[in-house]
Amino acid sequence: MWNPDDHACRVDDVFARAPVLPVLAIERLDDAVPLARTLVEAGLPVLEVTLRTDCAIGAIARIARELPDAVVGAGTVLTPEDLIAVGEVGAAFAISPGATEPLYAVAREASLPWIPAVATASEVMVGLDHGHRRFKFFPAEAAGGVAALKGFAGPFPQVRFCPTGGIDAERAPRYLALSNVATVGGSWMVPGDALAARDWVRIGNLAREAAALRGR
Ligand SMILES: O=C(O)C(=O)C[C@H](O)[C@H](O)COP(=O)(O)O
């Protein structure tokens, strides 16, 4: 049964596990477990596997089954069908680049917490009307970045965000310093060429640096 306080608590539990949420696009199913293991062992246990590749659902299922220390969620959840599908394979949470009325409706019945994204104050207000207080802020840099989040803090003191989109190791600390930022999403610790080359050492080093980030 949908409960706004319970939902915010469940999302906070996920976001509190690490300062950074890696956003992953996994092209080869066999990369899923070694990549996730690399990130988890580097101190980034919360993972967003985007539904942008053919094997994404399989990747979520494998990570959920084989890596109990990972908190694997699904990203790029665009439809109610996506949300239902990722719940069935064991995703711990689902996150979207935006929000739709059908997703708000089906999320009330879902067993896993769904995190909508917002880019404007009006979208935050629609989310609040639905009982949501935790949002992805996407695309963070393009939608106003740190200044926009500072602006949201005034009218929406009860809201916390996971900014994502255009953030890297240099920019992340400025977001993490904000009181209304719970964690920061990004793909910078998994460069495309490193993943293609299965360079787990390089990814592990970038992930360790990300795991050590704090606000400043
Ligand atoms: O597919 C989704 O659901 C998204 O929200 C997009 C991702 O969050 C960004 O592509 C990650 O941003 P970068 O760190 O700039 O690569």
Tens of pLDDT, residues 31-56: 999 999 999 999 999 999 999 999 99
What percentage of the chain carries pLDDT values higher than 70?
100
141 to each of 33, 68, 165, how far by Cα in Å?
30, 33, 6
| Range 73-94 average pLDDT | 98
- Quickly name the fold that domain 4-215 has: TIM Barrel (3.20.20)
Catalytic site includes residue 48: yes
For residue 76, give the ligand 1 atom closest to its CA.
3
CA 123 and chain centroid, separation: 18
Catalytic residue among 48, 141, 170, 209: 48
CA of 216 to the centre of ligand 1 (A): 23
127-164 burial code (b ≥16 CB/10 A, e <16) = bbebebbbbbbbbbbebbbbebbeebeeebeebbbbbb
| pLDDT of 67 | 98
pLDDT at 124 exceeding the cut of 90: yes
Give the pLDDT of residue 2.
Answer: 84
For atom 7 of ligand 1, which residue has the closest CA?
165
pLDDT in tens, 157-198: 999 999 999 999 999 999 999 999 999 999 999 999 999 999
ipTM at complex level: 0.93
Res 122: pLDDT:
98
Does the pLDDT at position 60 exceed 90? yes
